[in-house]
C-alpha cells in the first residue's frame, strides 16, 4: 500500500474515472469520463461505466488516441499525486508494452517515408493544390 491509499480509509474501491485521473491517464476527470462513455476504457474485458468501482487485481484496457494500454491495477487512489505515485498504482502488461513500441516504430517509419515540402507553397501552388483536392478541372 502506498501513501495515497494510507491517507484514504476507503481506498479499497474507487470510482474508475477518479482512478484514471489519479493515475494520470487523463488530465481531468471529465476527460476520463468522456473516454469511458465513448467506449475507450474496458474493465476486465467489458465496457465500463465511470461510476464503477475499481479494486486492485483488475485489468484495464485504455485506448488513448493511437495508443492502447493494458494494465493491471495494483493500488487505488482517489486523489492525484506526483507522477511517481501515479506510476505505482498500476503495472503495464509486457504484451501491451511491445505492441505500443511496435506501433510507435511503425509510425516513425511512415513519417520518414512521407515526403515533406521544404518550404510553404506560394500562392500559385496553393491554388493548384486546392483545385486538385477539390477535383476542379479548370486551371
According to the model, what pLDDT value does residue 9 have? 47
Helices first, then strands: H and E counts in the chain:
6, 7
Hey, CA dihedral for 90, 93, 97, 100, is it positive or negative?
negative
Mean of the pLDDT values across residues 3-18? 66
Mean pLDDT of 72-88: 94
> Which single residue is written with the C-alpha cell 492502447?
68
Spatial contact of 72 and 93, defined as CB atoms under 8 Å apart: yes
Task: Identify the pLDDT of residue 13.
Answer: 84
Q: What is the DSSP letter of 132?
A: H
Alpha carbons 80 and 27: distance in angstroms, whole number? 10
pLDDT at 6 over 50: no
How much is the average pLDDT of 67-82? 94
**Where residue 7 falls among pLDDT bands split at 50, 70, 90?**
very low
- The span from the CA of 92 to the CA of 23, in Å, is 12
What structural domains does the chain harbor? 3-115 (3.10.290.10)
Is the Cβ–Cβ distance between 59 and 44 less than 8 Å?
yes
What integer pLDDT is reported at residue 18 of this predicted model?
95
Question: What is the mean pLDDT of the segment spanning 24-42?
Answer: 96
Mean pLDDT of the chain: 89
Q: Which of 6-15, 100-109, 130-139 has the lowest mean pLDDT?
A: 6-15
The pLDDT confidence band at residue 87, using thresholds 50, 70 and 90, is very high
138 Cβ partners below 8 Å, 6+ apart? 131
Q: Does the pLDDT at position 38 exceed 50?
A: yes
Whole-number pLDDT of residue 64: 93
Listing DSSP states for 74-93 in one string gives ----SS---HHHHHTTEEE-
Amino acid at each position: 500500500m502506498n501513501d495515497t491509499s494510507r491517507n484514504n480509509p476507503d481506498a479499497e474501491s474507487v470510482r474508475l474515472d477518479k482512478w484514471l485521473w489519479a493515475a494520470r491517464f487523463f488530465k481531468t476527470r471529465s476527460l476520463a469520463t468522456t473516454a469511458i462513455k465513448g467506449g475507450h476504457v474496458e474493465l476486465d474485458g467489458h465496457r465500463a461505466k465511470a461510476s464503477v468501482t475499481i479494486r486492485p487485481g483488475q485489468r484495464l484496457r485504455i485506448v488513448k488516441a493511437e495508443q492502447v494500454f493494458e494494465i493491471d491495477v495494483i493500488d487505488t487512489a482517489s486523489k492525484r499525486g506526483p507522477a511517481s505515485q501515479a506510476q505505482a498504482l498500476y503495472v503495464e502488461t509486457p504484451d501491451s508494452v511491445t505492441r505500443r513500441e511496435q506501433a510507435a516504430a511503425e509510425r516513425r517509419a511512415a513519417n520518414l517515408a512521407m515526403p515533406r515540402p521544404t518550404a510553404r507553397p506560394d500562392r500559385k501552388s496553393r491554388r493548384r493544390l486546392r483545385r486538385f483536392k477539390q477535383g476542379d478541372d479548370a486551371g
